[in-house]
Amino acid sequence: MLQKIINGDKEAFRNFYNQQIDKALRVAILITKNRELAKEATQETFIRVYKNLSSFDSSRPFEPWFYRILTNECNRILKKESKTTHLPDYAEAELKDTSISTKDFSELDEAIQSLSDLYRIPIVLKYLKGFSEKDISVALETNLNTIKSRLHKGRALLKDYLIELEDRGKKHV
């Protein structure tokens, strides 16, 4: 399929898009915390992938390369937006609007969103995208041990939060 896309086959690119868009857009939403910015980042990612596919080394795994471009695009767009907008306020509001979960779940959502990007992005790539630690390390161009420690710390922070929520729930019973 990739070779067909390099040759300019629009239908192959459309199929590729259909295969990738769901997870890509979800990851972008969780990184940018804003649906419109996520759409822009995802759109730009597919365009860049199309234009740069011929420089991709096909002996290497494709998806970490794709997500490297996606995370870079999200960061670039966030940086651009932060120059003109106070992003955190409306970004958080945007995600809260869509939350239809229980109070505990919405508190967990806040805990996830409040994690530093250093921990949140590897967590998103692991739990949403299903990447291995090695894939994340390649996608984020960060040393494998660093990724392991960020995943461990991010997960530990969320676990502590969940335990606290559980304890709070027991006290109310």
Site of interaction with another protein (CB under 8 A) = 10, 13-14, 17, 21-22, 25-27, 29-30, 35, 38-40, 42-44, 46-48, 50-52, 55-57, 60, 65, 68-69, 72, 76, 79, 95, 98-101, 105, 108-109, 112-113, 116-118, 123-124, 127-128, 134, 137-138, 141-146, 155, 158-159, 162-163, 166
Six token digits for residue 36: 């419109």
In the chain the first and final C-alpha atoms are separated, in Å, by 56
Q: Which is nearer to another protein, 57 or 89 (CB)?
A: 57
| Minimum distance, C-beta of residue 36 to another protein, in the bound complex (Å) | 9
In terms of CB distance, is 3 or 76 closer to another protein? 76
Tokens of 25: 């857009």
3-state secondary structure of 57: coil
Distance between CA 43 and CA 69 in Å, rounded? 11
Per the CB < 8 A criterion, the answer to whether 115 and 57 are in contact is no
